[in-house]
Amino acid sequence: MDNQHDLIKRLSSPLYNSKGWIKFLGIMSIIMGCLVALSIVGLLVAWLPIWTGVLLLQTATALEQAFNTGDEVALETALSKLKTYFIIFGVIMLLQVVLTLLSFVSVGFLASTSQLY
């Protein structure tokens, strides 16, 4: 049993050492989501940064538990939450790239069709 505790502690150690930053990013993400929610349009997307912030805080908590107790389930939970965070963040980034490209194309189209005298 002691070997498993040591293994879990060793495997969770790199992320455990970063738990302060993980918590910081989680709190900042929640704050940004609340600020985005202050605008009418922002209400549509404000839940995303809040959700990712909560996921990061849950990750940090599970990492602490895994490191301190050698709990295998806690480590699996932390990694699962982190996986979900990266998936959400990846989808958000893809949407931002697509929207940016669409805005460039639409501005270019409008500029090419307008008549300047």
Which pLDDT score, from 0 to 100, does residue 1 have? 64
Q: Which residues of 10-34 are buried (b: 16+ CB within 10 A; e: fewer)?
A: eebeebbeebeebbebbeebbebbe
* Of 23, 2, 4, 22, residue with least CA distance to 73: 4
Q: Which residues touch 5 (CB under 8 Å, ≥6 apart)? A: 69, 70
Which pLDDT score, from 0 to 100, does residue 86 have? 96
Which pLDDT score, from 0 to 100, does residue 45 have? 87
AA letter at 109: F
pLDDT per residue, tens digit, the chain (117 aa), is: 689 899 999 999 999 999 999 999 999 999 999 999 998 888 888 999 999 999 999 999 999 999 999 999 999 999 999 999 999 999 999 999 999 999 988 888 877 777 655
Q: Hey, where are the domains in the chain? A: 2-91
Which pLDDT score, from 0 to 100, does residue 76 have? 97
Which pLDDT score, from 0 to 100, does residue 55 have? 97
* Of 65, 92, 93, 90, residue with least CA distance to 79: 65
